[in-house]
Amino acid sequence: MPQLPQHAKRSAGWMGLKRGHRARPLEWCVEKGIFIISLSAIVTTLLIFVFIARESLPILLGQMDSSHHQQIIAVADIDKHTPEELMKYLKMSKAEYEEMDRDTVKLMLEVKADGAKDQTTDKDAGVNTTSWRYLLSPHQWSGYDKPEYIWQPVSEIQKFNIIPLIIGSLKTTLVAMFFAVPLALGAALYVSQLAGNRTREVVKPVIEMLSGIPSVVMGFFALLVMASFLQNVFGYESRLNALVAGVALGFAVIPVIFTIAEDALTSVPRSFSQGALALGASRWRATWQIVLPAALPGVFAAVILGFGRAIGETMIVLMASGNASILSASPTDSARTITATIAAELAETVFGSHHYRLLFMIGLLLFAVTFLANVAGEIIVHRLKKRLEGRA
């Protein structure tokens, strides 16, 4: 093989060095750009969490009072109260209070006293429905025969019990998971281990195409077609319920679980299944007893991500669940989820009101549930990996 002259080698080395110096600034810019994008995503997530937590903080700390009855300050008693007490009573800022003279303050007290005469005589008017006791526990409201869990923000006495919303979210999510997990995992096992190449090339894209269907389209299909079909099959009374919403939600969850589980099953070395087949095991037995346990961490991660996708879905459950805050364990009864409640009611609330703060609080609750589910899933996946690797 002919050798390059020494000066040619030095020239080639110099040109390579120059190209390296030219590439380094570009590589540095790309690396910093990726780092900035990743950091901005983390910061944005934290800012969203901080904003939601800030808006719901008065509810979390018990600083809000939704009761209608309050002590009336008579005009004759104006000198018995401090300016701070008068500002709080009149719901004014310090700047607004200082702009008014004494006669104006007296007039405001008279107007406040006249308005108090029209207060409701309902025995529940003095209840602070934003306190944790009434948010989580049943209460026997006026006109009810027994203590009830009620979410009814639009009424003379606002009721904010969040238990029906939690139960509704869990019902629709569990129905979706019971429907989606067997189908998605079965499809992943078949496509990754049992199907031929031509079948795999057709089935896999078709299942993954489900993720491209907009959730509003899926909800519309559930509202018009699926609800009537399931009602005719099972004969239940409520046409829109947690079952309809859960099945429709399952179709949105299937591609998420399928894609991740199929990747986990495909990544298992072929030698595992080939060794089982060489020992006389059938193809299905090798898949079920050898490949699936080896891919269990990835499969479990797929199920956890599917759970997070299901519990955070809004449009499908808003259109197909019936949106009735009923405390019932039956999936054939109408339900109201946390996400549907936020989507339906937030635009109609007054900024800073009790209802406004409560919606942000249940949004924070949903965020916490999803976060804890992901953390628990990560811990379990890590332990499964250690066990499979023989380290535990």
DSSP 17-35: HHHHHHHHHHHHHHHHHHH
Q: What is the mean pLDDT of residues 164-172?
A: 94
pLDDT of the residue at 228:
93
Rounded to the nearest integer, the mean pLDDT of the chain is 84
> Which pLDDT score, from 0 to 100, does residue 297 have?
86
In the prediction, which pLDDT does 363 show? 92
Q: Looking at residue 17, what is its pLDDT?
A: 45
| Radius of gyration over every alpha carbon of the chain, rounded to an integer in angstroms | 31
Q: Contact 208/255 with Cβ under 8 angstroms? A: yes
pLDDT, average across residues 42-71: 84
Percent of the chain at pLDDT > 70 equals 87
Of the CA atoms within 13 Å of residue 258, those in its CB half-sphere come to: 25
Asked which of 17-21, 243-247, 324-328 is least confident by mean pLDDT, the reply is: 17-21
Q: Which of 180, 176, 185 is nearest to 262 (CA)?
A: 185
* Contacts (Cβ under 8 Å, ≥6 apart) of 4: 12
Closest by CA position to 257, among listed 345, 186, 330, 347 = 186
Q: 118: pLDDT confidence band, cut at 50, 70 and 90?
A: low
The predicted structure's pLDDT at residue 321: 93
CA distance linking residue 320 with residue 344, whole number of Å: 13
User: Which residues contact residue 6 at a Cβ distance below 8 angstroms, ignoring those fewer than 6 apart?
Assistant: none
Q: pLDDT tens-digit profile of 198-251?
A: 888 898 999 988 888 899 999 999 999 999 999 999 999 999 999 999 999 999
Name the band, by pLDDT with cuts 50, 70 and 90, for residue 277.
Answer: confident
Give the pLDDT score at 149. Answer: 93
Could you tell me how far CA 48 lies from the centroid of its own chain?
13
Which residue(s) pair with 179 in the sheet?
Answer: none
Position 154 pLDDT exceeds 80: yes
Token code pair at residue 349: 């609330």
In the predicted model, is pLDDT for residue 324 greater than 70?
yes
Average pLDDT over residues 357-377: 89
Q: Average pLDDT of 338-367?
A: 91
Assign residue 91 a region (left: φ > 0; alpha: ψ between -120 and 50; beta: otherwise): left
* Percentage of the residues of the chain whose pLDDT score is greater than 90: 38
Is 134 exposed, middle or buried, given 0-12, 13-18 or 19+ CB atoms closer than 10 A?
buried
| Residue whose C-alpha is closest to residue 63's, from 257, 349, 354 | 354
Residue entry with tokens 């923000």:
153
The model's confidence at residue 23, banded by pLDDT at 50, 70 and 90, is low
pLDDT at 1: 47
Q: Please compute the mean of the pLDDT values over residues 21-50 and round it to a whole number.
A: 85
Estimate to the nearest angstrom the gap between the alpha carbon of 136 and the chain centroid.
Answer: 20
Judged by average pLDDT, the poorest of 16-20, 135-139, 222-226, 321-325 is 16-20
Torsion of CA 107, 74, 63, 48, to 10 degrees: -10
Range 301-316 average pLDDT: 91
Residue 151 — φ and ψ, nearest 5°? -110, 105
